[in-house]
């Protein structure tokens, strides 16, 4: 079930470190390739040799070891995994992560990675409850919304006390790494980012869309087993690993790319901020400044890409649009839903500060033909997950 997974298990120094040996065995049994990184503290509880034997790979412990760096160095180790599991994650490790410290190999790796991180805290119940531990976790959750926190369990602790702080059982940790592949076999086509409409070889009309929301939707769908193709405009952020990307420039290019992919796609999500108009003429030479103080541009309407999809003979089974509105959010959203032949439209209120275009957060109302769902302000990553979960609930 974890075939093709490369799991990096990070062990820090707590008594629960003995359970990590079992975790490594289970991960291997599930088909994953496993590498282990241990802190100094962890080595006081369990020998690297044990983990080496169980994982079948050398255990990394030192940041400044030239021999280890010559093999798989810390940056390569940060790039290698498909999943990083910190089990146990002690209060100390969590505090170091929150402070962004790179004082040992394990926290350095976490600082240097963009891979999915799963954290299984384990510590004395008083340490778990300590306001500073809770504040560290809250801060990390805000900074890294995609990290998944597993547990801790409550119960009798190694120190004899009873409460929350026991590491989640290895079986439960392995299960958490394999989310139900609810979108397996589905192909999602997502348009994302701005389009750019040329005036001449050096000038264009465009907008501030960053592609963050499109990326968040793509990551959420990939995690659930979908195949994802993104058609992205210029200046788009790098797409998540695993996405098939078609990079385009103008709205006309985007329409062509969408039509090329339509036959094979099951869901279409139009997240792009498509320019509504383009210059009527594109000058082959750079336009020169004239004697007049005013200049009028003649623009012509671009095709409506999502409306084309909504009415297409090869219409995918689900077509979802976005609407950015500065007033009458729901009214305009509903009109677009009907006019463009959509199943759902995700409406953002761009008059609210700190959300929507180019921001890290969003807050949306999803409007359908017979129901609505409000998703309150959260990171785009989280909103992306919630939108995909909602669409799954409604359709599968």
Tell whether residue 322 is a contact of ligand CTP (CB under 6 A): yes
Hey, which residues between 231 and 260 contact ligand CTP (CB under 6 A)?
Answer: 251
From 87, 198, 65, select the one nearest 151 (Cα to Cα).
87
In the beta sheet, which residues pair with residue 190?
230, 269
> Cβ closer to ligand CTP: 8 or 275?
275
> Which tokens is 372 given?
């609505």
Tell whether residue 88 is a contact of ligand CTP (CB under 6 A): no
Hey, which residues between 155 and 194 contact ligand CTP (CB under 6 A)?
Answer: 191
Q: What is the DSSP letter of 395?
A: H
Tell whether residue 323 is a contact of ligand CTP (CB under 6 A): yes
Tell whether residue 324 is a contact of ligand CTP (CB under 6 A): yes
Helix or strand run (H / E) with residue 336 = helix 329-339
Between CA 276 and CA 324 the distance in angstroms is: 13
Q: What is the DSSP letter of 284?
A: S
> Cβ closer to ligand CTP: 335 or 395?
335
> Cβ closer to ligand CTP: 10 or 321?
321
Residue with tokens 């798989």: 72
Between CA 242 and CA 16 the distance in angstroms is: 34
User: Nearest distance from residue 340's CB to ligand CTP, in Å?
Assistant: 6
Tell whether residue 348 is a contact of ligand CTP (CB under 6 A): no
Between CA 181 and CA 361 the distance in angstroms is: 26
Tell whether residue 384 is a contact of ligand CTP (CB under 6 A): no
Tell whether residue 196 is a contact of ligand CTP (CB under 6 A): no
Between CA 280 and CA 269 the distance in angstroms is: 28
User: Nearest distance from residue 317's CB to ligand CTP, in Å?
Assistant: 17
> Cβ closer to ligand CTP: 124 or 250?
250
User: Nearest distance from residue 273's CB to ligand CTP, in Å?
Assistant: 6
Of 304, 334, 343, 349, the one binding ligand CTP (CB under 6 A) is: 304
User: Nearest distance from residue 6's CB to ligand CTP, in Å?
Assistant: 35
Burial 177-186 (b: 16+ CB within 10 A, else e): beeeebbeeb
User: Nearest distance from residue 362's CB to ligand CTP, in Å?
Assistant: 14
User: Nearest distance from residue 262's CB to ligand CTP, in Å?
Assistant: 13
Between CA 39 and CA 104 the distance in angstroms is: 7
> Which tokens is 194 given?
């701005």
Active-site position among 159, 265, 271, 347: 159
> Cβ closer to ligand CTP: 177 or 274?
274
Radius of gyration of the chain (CA): 25
Told to judge if 159 belongs to the known catalytic residues of this protein, a careful annotator would answer yes
Q: Is 354 left (phi over 0), alpha (psi -120 to 50) or beta?
A: left
Stretch that binds ligand CTP, among 42-50, 130-138, 300-308, 356-364 (CB under 6 A): 300-308
Tell whether residue 46 is a contact of ligand CTP (CB under 6 A): no
User: Nearest distance from residue 345's CB to ligand CTP, in Å?
Assistant: 7
Tell whether residue 336 is a contact of ligand CTP (CB under 6 A): yes
Between CA 212 and CA 236 the distance in angstroms is: 8
Tell whether residue 355 is a contact of ligand CTP (CB under 6 A): no
Burial 5-38 (b: 16+ CB within 10 A, else e): bebbbbbbbbbbbebbbebbebbbebebbbbbbb
Tell whether residue 123 is a contact of ligand CTP (CB under 6 A): no
Tell whether residue 321 is a contact of ligand CTP (CB under 6 A): yes
Between CA 132 and CA 145 the distance in angstroms is: 19
What residues are annotated to the active site? Answer: 159
Footprint of ligand CTP on this chain (CB under 6 A)?
Answer: 191, 251, 270, 272, 274, 276, 302, 304-306, 321-324, 336
């Amino acid at each position: 079930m974890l075939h093709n997974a490369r799991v990096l298990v990070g062990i820090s120094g707590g008594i629960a470190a003995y359970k990590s040996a079992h975790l490594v065995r289970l991960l291997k049994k599930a088909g994953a390739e496993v590498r282990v990184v241990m802190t100094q503290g962890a080595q006081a509880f369990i020998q690297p040799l044990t983990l080496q034997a169980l994982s079948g790979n050398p255990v990394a412990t030192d940041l400044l070891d030239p021999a280890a760096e010559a093999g798989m160095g810390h940056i390569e180790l940060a790039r290698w995994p498909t999943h990083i599991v910190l089990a146990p994650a002690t209060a100390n490790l969590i505090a170091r992560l929150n402070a962004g410290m790179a004082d040992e190999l394990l926290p350095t790796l976490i600082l240097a990675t963009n891979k999915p991180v799963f954290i299984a805290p384990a510590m004395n119940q008083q340490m778990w409850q300590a306001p500073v531990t809770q504040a560290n976790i809250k801060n990390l959750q805000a900074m890294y919304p995609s990290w998944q926190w597993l547990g801790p369990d409550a119960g009798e602790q190694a120190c004899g006390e009873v409460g929350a702080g026991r590491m989640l059982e290895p079986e439960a940790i392995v299960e958490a790494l394999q989310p139900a592949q609810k979108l397996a076999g589905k192909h999602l086509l997502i348009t994302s980012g701005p389009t750019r409409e040329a005036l001449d070889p050096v000038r264009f009309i465009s907008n501030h869309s960053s592609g963050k929301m499109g990326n968040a939707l793509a990551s959420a769908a990939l995690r659930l087993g979908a195949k994802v193709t993104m058609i992205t405009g210029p200046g788009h952020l790098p797409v998540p690993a695993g996405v098939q990307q078609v990079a385009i420039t103008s709205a006309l290019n985007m329409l062509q790319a969408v039509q090329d992919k339509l036959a094979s796609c099951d869901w279409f999500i139009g997240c792009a901020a498509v320019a509504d108009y383009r210059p009527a003429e594109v000058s082959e030479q750079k336009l020169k400044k004239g004697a007049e103080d005013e200049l009028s541009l003649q623009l012509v309407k671009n095709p409506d890409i999502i409306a084309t999809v909504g009415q297409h003979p090869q219409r995918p089974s689900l077509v979802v649009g976005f609407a950015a509105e500065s007033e009458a959010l729901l009214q305009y959203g509903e009109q677009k839903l009907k006019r463009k032949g959509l199943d759902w439209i995700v409406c953002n209120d761009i008059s609210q500060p700190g959300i929507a275009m180019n921001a890290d957060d969003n807050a949306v109302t999803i409007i359908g033909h017979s129901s609505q769902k409000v998703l309150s302000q959260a990171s785009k990553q989280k909103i992306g997950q919630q939108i995909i979960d909602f669409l799954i609930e409604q359709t599968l």
